[in-house]
Structures are given as structure tokens and as C-alpha cells.
Amino acid sequence: MSRSPATVLLAVGGGIAAYKSAVICSRLVQQQYEVRVVMTRSAEQFVGSATFAALSGQPVGTESAPTDRYPTGAHIELAKDLDLMVVAPATANLIGKFANGIADDLASTIYLQRSCPVLLAPAMSASMWSKSAVQRNCKQLEEDGCDFVGPEEGWLSCRATGAGRMSEPDSIVERVFALLR
């Protein structure tokens, strides 16, 4: 059986931009990538997991607890043989947890478990993005070896313009291709 060109884990955080991550998933699948999707509990309030399950052709991971499919825990099985972990949208909460080694859900536990590179696409309001705590956490993640794409300046869902808009799916996918090349 031939292996896909790459295996990407797409972690979807709980922000309005979660709907754009469906496009990222689809674009990567169209390139024959294996895409494993993990959604935070908060992300499920923004987009249904059925969308990502259909697009990726795989069940969506939401919990770490052992199941028949993942007897040793989803964080172990899903983190195996990854070429890249993409976090989009990367919420302030996920960024904070990653930067501080907190592993209290599936996405943050996979972040600690994996050994592949990580690409983060932050998305939040301009006020959140400007906070020193968020900037400090991003700096820490850069020092830890993570890559970032965006955020951009532009229209935000809080009906304001500023920095914090998630990069467009095509830009994120281009960065994925560049990192995997």
C-alpha cells in the first residue's frame, strides 16, 4: 500500500475562524495528504465534527480517553508518524497551554506527545492579540521551535478592523507545503 505524501494533524480551536479550517482540511486531502482532525470542545460549538469527518475521511478526535479505535488513548495513536501538526485557529487558550506545557485536552496533549514540527495560525480579537501574555506565549513557542503563519490585519468577527484575523486558508496551506517540501 502506498503511503500518502504526508500525514498532517489539524487541530481546530474554538474561534469563529474554525469554519475556514474546513477549507484547509479539504485542500490537504485533495493533495492526497492523510489529514487527522482533532477538535477542542469549544471548536465543536463553532463547526460540526461531521464536516471534518467527511472531508478527512476519518473520525474526528475530541477526547483522549481510550476507545476501541484508540486503545492506548487517542493522544498516543494520533500523534504517531506525523509529518506536521497544524493548529488553526490557534486560540489564545491553546497558545497559552502549549507554551506552558498544559495538557488538559486532546489537542494540548497531542502537542506534548508529538515529535513533528508545529505550525500555528493564531486567530483572535485585536485586543486579545495585543496582550503581553499572548505575545509572551507566542515568543515562547517560537523559541520552542514552532512556526507561525499570521495573524493578519483585517476585518474581525467582533466587527472591528485590526490585527488578529487568521490567515486565509490558501496562505496556511501554502505554508504547509513549504514546511513539508
Measured in degrees and rounded to the nearest 5, phi and psi for residue 9 equal -100, 120
Residues contributing to the site for ligand FMN (CB under 6 A):
13-17, 40, 42-43, 89, 91-94, 123-124, 128
The rounded distance, in Å, linking the Cα atoms of 5 and 14 is: 29
Nearer to ligand FMN, 6 or 74 (CB): 74
Nearer to ligand FMN, 38 or 84 (CB): 38
Question: Is the distance from CB of 102 to CB of 133 less than 8 angstroms?
Answer: no
- Residue at shortest CB range from ligand FMN: 15
Nearer to ligand FMN, 6 or 10 (CB): 10
Question: Is the distance from CB of 52 to CB of 19 less than 8 angstroms?
Answer: no
Q: Is 116 tagged catalytic?
A: no
Output DSSP code: residue 61.
Answer: B
Nearest distance in Å: CB 32, ligand FMN: 28
Nearest distance in Å: CB 39, ligand FMN: 8
Evaluated on CA atoms 126, 128, 132, 135, the torsion sign reads negative
Nearest distance in Å: CB 43, ligand FMN: 5
Catalytic residue annotation: 158
